[in-house]
Amino acid sequence: GKQIFSNRTEFRISVLKFHPTESNVFICGGFSPEIKAWDVRTSKVLRVYKAAVQQTLDILFLPEGREFLTSTDAVSRDSADRTIIAWDFQSAAKISNQIFHERYTCPSLALHPKESMFVAQTNGNYMALFSAQRPYRINKKKRYEGHKVEGFAVGCEFSPDGTLLVTGSSDGKVFFYNYHTARIIRTLSPHKEACVSAIFHPVLPSLLATCDWAGEIKIWQ
């Protein structure tokens, strides 16, 4: 293929996401207090988003891309602010840093495909459910638990129809949750190492890809 973009950051990148409506724009973060938005047409930085953190763990654009969320490593014994931060994409202003108050980092975030909700994978060995609209309130009645995270960057995702929530687990398993009831409806045991990602095929929802910490990839039907 033809390379259309090349540039460097001063930090090691750990997450990169394209804007949902502006196909030439992406945001990247990593081991830095800064997140940068780039334009692939000019190979230049469009905007810089600054937070008092050491690392950005994940980035999630909210519907239409006017706002996005970042999960960070900023958790201490005394405070859980900045664990999840909401940003205004255009102005680079922080909308909120008081979204998740448990003292757990959140290695991955996932947006529901049909409802205005998102989940955060937590190092408390559960996924928390939030509103994707301001002020991004947590749903205290639903908690998706049973799998293990244990410090791994375990990914989670909704099925294309939004009825299932799938996650990896540090014990090598894959868990399927009913989105509405938060109950486990099925588990798989595909890996000996930590399963760090489980992703539905975007067109064929009966296909699932999983991968583990050792680099093994499997496809399931």
- What pLDDT, in 10s, does the model give residues 171-189? 999 999 999 999 999 999 9
The pLDDT value given to residue 78: 60
pLDDT bracket for residue 79 (50, 70, 90): low
pLDDT at 154 over 80: yes
The span from the CA of 135 to the CA of 95, in Å, is 9
Edge-to-edge strand ranges of the sheet holding 217-220: 195-200, 208-212, 217-220
The span from the CA of 71 to the CA of 64, in Å, is 19
The span from the CA of 119 to the CA of 121, in Å, is 7
The span from the CA of 16 to the CA of 59, in Å, is 7
- What pLDDT, in 10s, does the model give residues 31-47? 999 999 999 999 999 99
- What pLDDT, in 10s, does the model give residues 97-109? 999 989 899 999 9
The pLDDT value given to residue 77: 60
The pLDDT value given to residue 159: 95
Structure-token pair, residue 134? 């301001």
Q: Which domains does the chain have, with CATH numbers?
A: 1-99 (2.120.10.30), 106-220 (2.130.10.10)
The pLDDT value given to residue 7: 83
The pLDDT value given to residue 174: 98
